[in-house]
Amino acid sequence: MLVHIPAVFTRDEVLRIREALEAAQWVDGKVTAGYQSAQAKNNIQLPEGSPLAKEISQAMLERLWQNPLFMSAALPNKVFPPLFNCYRSGDDFGYHIDNAVRQVKGSAERVRTDLSSTLFFSDPDEYDGGELTIQDTYGVQQVKLPAGDLVLYPASSLHKVAPVTRGARFASFFWTQSLVREDSQRALLFEMDNAIQQLTQDVPDHPALTQLTGSYHNLLRRWVEV
């Protein structure tokens, strides 16, 4: 399941964030890659735990926790703190699958990476190349979203970032441990929730809504892990 979540940040907010990112000190992106991924990864990142990364991350997660689309699709339990990267001309990240478990730096907390997210801070016309290419049961998807938008997809997917040939691609990425581990189950719950919301708007007094909502929560009760 691949979900596009628009306008996590407004245009003015994106511009302010970009100014801060462009003025920041960056490090080699390999510092957060596993052994295999490091062989394919060519980009730069903000240092983990830097004040700027923490500030933007806090604002981002506050927005997402209030975003009905993200909450419905991800059913988040906990999130690995967002990281920030930049792909300049010649940078890329070859095909890889994300590590199944990430440990938060300076903490004993571990996060199972059920879902990956990328939030774009560069508009598509600011750079050439740099598409996020994702392979999964829904086929091959190439993602290049407006600045401020986020894409959510299974972390089990084979994916890459195509080489950037012009400009710079700024983004944030992070992983979510969902209350529901299995992607097919999350997809079913997401479809049911969308149907319930639409019916609530169209026929709010229909008695079947109570039954459908109850079925949703009974499935959630069966599949949730806390």
Orientation angle between helical segments 11-22 and 51-65, nearest 10 degrees: 160
What's the domain range around 150?
Answer: 1-176
Domain of 80, CATH number, reads 2.60.120.620
Residues 153 and 78 in one domain: yes
Which residues of the chain are modeled with pLDDT < 70? 33-38
**CA proximity to 85, closest of 154, 141, 162, 28:** 28
Residues 54 and 144 in one domain: yes
Residues 77 and 155 in one domain: yes
Which H or E element spans position 92?
strand 92-96
Residues 164 and 189 in one domain: no
Domain of 214, CATH number, reads 4.10.860
Using the structure block, give the residue that is written with the tokens 């049961």. Answer: 137
98 is in an annotated binding site: yes
Residues 205 and 125 in one domain: no
4 is in an annotated binding site: no
Give pLDDT, residue 38. Answer: 61
User: What DSSP string describes 114-178?
Assistant: -EEEEEE-S-GGGEEE--EEEEETTEEEEE-PPTT-EEEEETTSEEEEPPEEEE-EEEEEEEEEE
Residues 57 and 5 in one domain: yes
Domain count, the chain: 2
96 is in an annotated binding site: yes
- Asked, for residue 86, whether it belongs to a domain, the answer is yes
Q: Which spans in the chain are helix H? A: 11-22, 35-38, 51-65, 68-74, 183-202, 208-223
Gap between the Cα atoms of 8 and 147, Å rounded: 9
- Asked, for residue 8, whether it belongs to a domain, the answer is yes
Give pLDDT, residue 137. Answer: 79
Name the 3-class secondary structure at 203: coil
Residues 42 and 69 in one domain: yes
Residues 117 and 93 in one domain: yes
- Asked, for residue 226, whether it belongs to a domain, the answer is no
114 is in an annotated binding site: no
- Asked, for residue 28, whether it belongs to a domain, the answer is yes
Residues 43 and 108 in one domain: yes
Residues 160 and 213 in one domain: no
Residues 163 and 214 in one domain: no
**CA proximity to 178, closest of 189, 186, 190:** 186
Look up residue 112 and give its amino acid: R
Residues 200 and 121 in one domain: no
